[in-house]
Structure 1
Amino acid sequence: MGLRNSTLISRREFVAGAAFGTTLLAMHPFSARAAANQAHLRIMETTDLHVHVFPYDYYSDKPIDTVGLARTASHIVDVRAEATNSILLDNGDFLQGNPMGDYIAYERGMKDGDMHPVIAAMNAVGFDASTLGNHEFNYGLDFLMKSIAGANFPVVSANVVVERGANPRDDKTLLMPYVILERMIKDGTGTEHPIKIGLIGFVPPQVMNWDRRHLEGNVTTRDIVETARAYVPEMKEAGADIIIALSHSGIGSANETEFMENASVPLATVDGIDAIMTGHSHLVFPGTQYADFAGVDAEKGTIHGKPAAMGGFWGSHLGVIDLMLENDGGTWKVSAHTSEARPISQRNEDRSISALVESQDFVLAAAQKEHDETLAYVRRAVGKTSAPLHSYFALVADDPSVQIVSIAQKWYIGEMLAGTEYADLPILSAAAPFKAGGRGGAEYYTDVPAGDVAIKNVADLYLYPNTARAVKVTGEQLKGWLERSAGMFNQVEAGKADQVLLNPDFPSYNFDVIDGVSYEIDLSQPSRFTAKGELADETANRIVNLTYNGAPVTPDQEFIVATNNYRASGGGDFPGAMGDTIIFEGPDTNRDVIVRYIVEQGTINPSADGNWAFTSLPDTSVLFDTGPKAKDYMGDLENITIEEAGDGPDGFARFRIQL
């Protein structure tokens, strides 16, 4: 296979911490008790950084304490000081995800030799390796390759394939599938020994759907576990003492199926893998979210008995795995392990957030110029809005922040299809609230006051650099699309008070509101689909009174739906949007469409038209948690009876809705 698949890289020695005597008290127990031929290795992980170098929210244009590699770097400094040997890894999704990423991609661009600010920051912190996440492909392969060219560390990815062979070991991969780092490691007596650390990386194979426009015809993907089973023995043959999987894939089902998106649990069964760094899900491991998962010990931080960590997202946590290694006949083996995830902030009892660490100035300095340029970029006004744009009630009522996205998409697709064979078909528009609390927290909402609308506000309305698409669907598919969206809600019992409304496993970005038709959601009925889009009950009918222009929608009626490339290509598994109904692929991002619409209109009127509502259920109420500032907008709601109901968990405010 040659050097591409067994590259040996020798870089700086492990950082041993500060001077002896000042760090001894802080030493991890593994370092303190290691004997001869025993060595303590700390593996640190960041994941899903999404260009968050600074502790700054570009959407609200203010500093925050919950994000930023500059803050995570303080933990990294501490962890290095607490152990004799350490290694720092990134688990992907570093190039896209906030306005700095968009500024570099769309305004400044990347030429040969340019340094991407997040790469500059990662170089400053001293990463040892990284893998690719799915969002690395959002700006295209050329942008990706020019960006990672500046990295002072290897970037590996085993299952993104340029030329497919008979099996993964015969593939020509986009990047090195794995790397073996040759290092010197100190044992408990201070004696140095050579060690070979193997690192292999994986990305969800679904990137071929999510970024089809960039990848189709250029690369393909392989199944994560299949790829691991092929390469891990080869890594052992190449002399790897220990093997760490950089799995940009969440912790999901223990039942292995082909092309799993969240494959980290089956991946842990692959013989030869010693530790797993996970990500993609924007969650924390070890953590209570995974308490009931098969094969997972959420308290000890193991998957099938192997140590694992997931370091949150946006720099919110540092994942740490501690390995006690023993030299057994010239080969290092894992004899004990622990896992943790260190947060950079905490929520207090009064709902305020406190920083647990401060920023490292050398990290800020690495991206200061681009940070300042990004601030100028996001503050540009492009128009005005006559009413506030907020998403506090986007999951329970027709909403202005979703409405303006739908209006702009419909306007754009109407222009693009004028004069085509589809020009006479009715155009609908599907949009979802991206910032609606959930895992993002009680402050994770769009909130744009009436007045000037800047680029930062548009980025706040539409978080992702998706491109505009249009699909042609039947009335039957349209109803199925809405049934899929209605999985956002738990089934409620008529005549019962204070039932929990939202399904916590259902992300808000899959709650598509389709503008241009009218409909009701009957919460007394079961959901047709699971939170992940699997068919649960084909006879379930939550969507009732579905009409177009006042007349019932028929199963064979045809519509155009304006949406985005992610949804149109199968993202979320929506009926009518599985990649086979696309009739138009726009060159413009949905954000650019919104900006162009606002510029053309000058002043927009984002008032929601109330095209959907819950079906009336007498003597029935539900509880809904949203941001505390929602109470400022209660008076704007129509066709819904809502009242404050105290405090919700984790800083959320609770409201009661009478159905």
Structure 2
Amino acid sequence: MTLPGVSNDILTGTTLTVRLLETTDVHANLLPYDYYADRADAPGALTRLATLIAAARDEAPNCLLFDNGDFLQGAPIGDLPADPDAGWTGPHPAITAMNALGYDAAGLGNHEFNFGLEPLENALADAAFPVTCANALTRRGATAGDDETMVAPFLLLDRRVTDDAGEAHELRIGVVAVVPPQITTWDSHHLSGRVTSRDMVDAVRARLPQMRAAGAQLVVALAHTGIGDGKTRDSAEHAALQLAGLPGIDAVMGGHSHEVFPSETAPVAAGVDAAAGTLHGTPAVLAGFGGRHLGVIDLRLRRNHRGWQVAGHRSEVRPTRPAAATRPVPSDRAVTRVLAPAHRRTLQLMRRPLGETQAPLHTFLTRVTDCAATRLVTRAKRAALEHALRGTPEAALPVLSVSTAFRAGGRAGPRHFTDIPAGPLSRRHVADLYEFPNTLCGLRVTGADLRDWLERSASGFAMVAQGRADQPLFDPAFPGHTFDVVDGLTYRLDLSQPARYDVHGRLVAPRARRIRDLRFNGRPLRGDAEFVVATNSYRAAGGGPYPAWPGRAFLHRGRTLIRDHLADYIRAAGTIRAPDPPAWSFAPMPGASVVFDTGPGIRGHAEELRRLSLEDLGDTENGFARLRLRL
């Protein structure tokens, strides 16, 4: 094997290659089954990765397999242990699959905390592999090196490896993992008073000398974080580039951002070399999400008087569906077999009937017009909050509801949209409409708060100029799930104004106002008017470009999952009626048109395309449908 950066003279001593394999952000996509559509054609899955893993292991004698977090949550099969209606008593299905694959170690991702600490601890108790995380803390120490962590802050893996001549050697590998410190914000209702966090770079910097002192000859960072821009920020969410610059790290395995690295789409920043597969010269890989890519780092080691040293490297990602292939790689039969009981139970649960809908429920146009799918969720949340507030003084306040469409394309691809036809509704449709395990929160807010909320939501659109054709509608920096709709108000979005906030929620244009004609019950909304808003725990805690609400604002903190409230609402209603007239729209801009990408399934809703005068411009190279909207 010839690797870049290896000179002849450096290979004169004993040499060997260690292969590191990464899965990350699998999000419980264990089998190639789309539980939302009830069909066996999902593009990615851990069982497909298992086939790639077996091939990669066959190619290299010294191979270690790691997962970089977000393995427990994201698909209905991963929700079984936390679903009281499931009747599931076995191990977490993701852990079952990972045990079958023989992982060497795993780090925690932010979504591991979504169900709370007890479900997480129960899941990990069945793991046949060690788990590490250096910055999820049960007690903050005087320094990062003194912190007490909820799982081991790092691991020391002793492996017997074979050199090029076939001789065996002992190699001690240090593994340190970190998770975005925002976990204590995003899941504060689970973690407050129990788990705190520390900056990722500070945590790793403190543990590196400890690992080396304990004999680690090679150090691998499982960094559940995106590449970032390399700039020093306290508690940065994306810091893989910074971590790669720390002396003493031999390889970085990143994630969280769902990026693929190395790739042509890698971010452009100082220190990022996609051609070499390095961050600040350190070999690195980010294996996408959803079980669609396997990350591979080959480290060429040479032994000298200081021990084993990295003399060369290669980084790559292997897709479950190569570009030239007509179909994905097949699933591994053995891993498929161990998942069969959980799969059968998930199908039984997902197919359980609840009610019916008179109108289609889809999210293809959720950021273009009022969305019946989102409206159904807001109505269910409002009904649940009104019930929770009965008998309290706040029950007299008007209740509004806020929601977003989680399945709205983006990096997840052109199939990542909700598309439920008119007709029966079952549990799988509820999971489709609301895939995250958030709980219900009720906040006391003012009219001024609501205006600010909507300005943050409206910041996800690009600025549009009068009289110009085919301008982009969305700002690509904003994920689709940052767009909130407030049900109970009417308003318009004026895209001739610049965005008031950036994707991090920072005020960038103080004089800009995109929200126009904001009204409640047909009257202009007063800034001092008081309301109660039904929202989710993630948003209430400051998820996305939104501020975290102070404790005094909370009138209700529920423990029931919002999707369970949604199931109850559908069951009680029996039939979901056609949606109300639109609550929001774009302010007219004569002569201006915008273009946006959505799922090709929108073509199955021809009447809606005609009603909105949307023009079909064909498919993009990524398989999205591109539409034109005249403002």
- For the aligned pair, the TM-score class normalised by the smaller chain equals over 0.9
Q: How far is 1:160 from its partner?
A: 1.1
Q: Which residue of 2 aligns with 1:80?
A: 57
Structure 2 counterpart of 1:382: 354
Q: Deviations over 1:372-419 (max 9, x none)?
A: 110111011111111111111111000111110011111111111122
| Paired residue secondary structure (2:145) | helix
5 Å matches for 1:271-286?
271-286=247-262
Name the CA shift for 1:35/1:313 in 2 (closer, same or farther; >3 Å). farther
Displacement of 1:164 in angstroms is 2.1
Partners of 2:257 and 2:229 lie apart in 1 by 13
- Counterpart of 2:198? 222
Residue number in structure 1 paired with 2:399 = 427
Calculate percent identity across the aligned residue pairs: 44
The 3-state SS of whatever aligns with 2:394 is coil
The match for 1:327 is 303
1:289 match: secondary structure:
coil
Equivalent residues of 1:325, 1:335 under 8 A apart: yes
Partner of 2:95: 119
Question: What amino acid is aligned across from residue 125 of structure 1 in structure 2?
Answer: L
- Conserved 8 A contact 1:469-1:568: yes
Q: How does 1:165-564 map to 2 (within 5 A)?
A: 165-329=141-305, 331-346=307-322, 354-564=326-536
CA contact (8 A) 2:541 2:549 kept: yes
8 Å contact 1:518–1:547 — kept in the other structure? yes
Gaps of 5+ in 1: 1-26
Contact residue 505 and residue 547 of structure 2 kept, 8 A: no
| Partner amino acid, structure 1, of 2:81 | I
| Equivalent residues in 2 for 1:646-657, closer than 5 Å | 646-657=618-629
* Secondary structure at the counterpart of residue 557 of structure 2: strand
Q: Is this contact kept in 2: 1:36–1:189, CA < 8 A?
A: no
Paired with 1:66 and 1:255, the residues of 2 have a C-alpha distance of 35
Q: Find the residue that maps to 2:326 and give its secondary structure.
A: strand
Identify the residue that residue 58 of structure 1 maps to in structure 2: 35
TM-score by length of 1: 0.92
Once the two structures are TM-superposed, the CA of residue 36 in structure 1 deviates from its matched residue by 5.0
Match of 2:73 among 93, 96, 105: 96
Displacement of 1:298 after TM fit? Answer: 2.5
Query: Could you report, residue by residue, the CA deviation over 1:596-648 in whole angstroms, capped at 9, with x for unpaired residues?
Result: 11011011115143000000000111112111121222423697432212222
Of 205-214 and 569-578, more deviation after overlay is shown by 569-578
Shift of 1:578: 6.4
Conserved? CA contact 2:419–2:601, under 8 Å: no
In the alignment, residue 105 of structure 1 is paired with which amino acid? A
- 2:39 maps to a residue whose letter is K
CA apart distance, 1:509: 1.0
Q: Report the Cα distance in structure 2 between the residues aligned to 1:524 and 1:219, rounded to whole angstroms.
A: 44
Counterpart in the other structure of 1:106: 83
Residues in 1 aligned to 2:100 and 2:352: alpha-carbon distance in whole angstroms: 30
Matched, 1:635 2:612: no
- Contact 1:568–1:579, Cα closer than 8 Å, also in 2: no
User: Partner letter of residue 82 of structure 2?
Assistant: A
Task: Report the AA paired with residue 155 of structure 2.
Answer: V
CA distance in 2, matches of 1:551, 1:253: 45
Distance 1:208 1:415 in 2: 29
TM superposition shift of 1:468: 0.5
**Aligned-partner SS, 2:121:** helix
CA distance in 1, matches of 2:142, 2:88: 35
Q: Distance in 2 between matches of 1:43 and 1:566?
A: 34
Equivalent residue of 1:429, what SS?
strand
Q: CA deviation at 1:215?
A: 1.1
Residue type of the partner of 1:72?
Answer: L
Which segments of 5 or more consecutive residues in structure 2 lack a partner in the other structure?
A: none
Can you list the C-alpha shifts for 1:36-55, whole angstroms capped at 9, x where unaligned? 51111111000011111111
The superposition leaves residues 282-302 of structure 1 with CA deviations (integer Å, 9 ceiling, x where unpaired) of 121112333412321223221
Matched, 1:43 2:20: yes
Q: Contact (CA 8 Å) 1:467, 1:590: kept in 2 or not?
A: yes
Q: How far does the alpha carbon of each residue in 1:433-469 deviate from its partner, in whole angstroms, 9 at most, with x for none?
A: 1111111111111011111101100100011010001
**643-652 vs 519-528, which moves further:** 643-652
- AA in 2 matched with 1:441: G
User: After superposition, what is the alpha-carbon deviation per residue over 1:196-230, rounded to whole angstroms, capped at 9, x for unaligned?
Assistant: 10001111111111111221121111111111111
Q: Deviations over 1:581-603 (max 9, x none)?
A: 32211121110111111011011
Rounded Cα–Cα distance in structure 1 between residues aligned with 2:143 and 2:451: 42
1:195 alignment partner, SS class: strand
Letter in 2 for 1:268: A
Q: Which moved more, 1:392-401 or 1:642-651?
A: 642-651
C-alpha change, 1:366 and 1:29, in structure 2 (3 Å) is farther
Q: Alpha-carbon deviations, 1:522-561, whole Å to 9, x = none? A: 1111001112322211111111111111111122222211
What is the total number of aligned residue pairs between the two structures?
626
C-alpha distance in structure 1 between counterparts of 2:262 and 2:550, whole Å: 34
TM-score, scaled relative to structure 2: 0.96
Distance 1:559 1:471 in 2: 8
- How far apart, in 2, do the equivalents of 1:36 and 1:357 lie? 39
1:21-80 CA-to-partner distances (Å, cap 9, x unmatched) read xxxxxx67699x977511111110000111111111111111125111110111111111
Structure 1 residues 151-160 or 470-479, which shifts more?
470-479
Q: Does the 8 A contact of 1:568 with 1:578 survive in 2?
A: no
Distance 2:229 2:451 in 1: 29
Matched, 1:143 2:119: yes
Give the Cα–Cα distance (whole angstroms) in 1 for the partners of residues 268 and 247 of structure 2. 24
Tell me what 2:565 maps to: 593
CA displacement at 1:566 relative to structure 2: 0.2
- Residue 314 of structure 1 deviates from its aligned partner by 1.5
* AA matched with 1:409: K
Give the letter aligned to residue 549 of structure 1: N
- 2: CA distance between counterparts of 1:369 and 1:289? 39
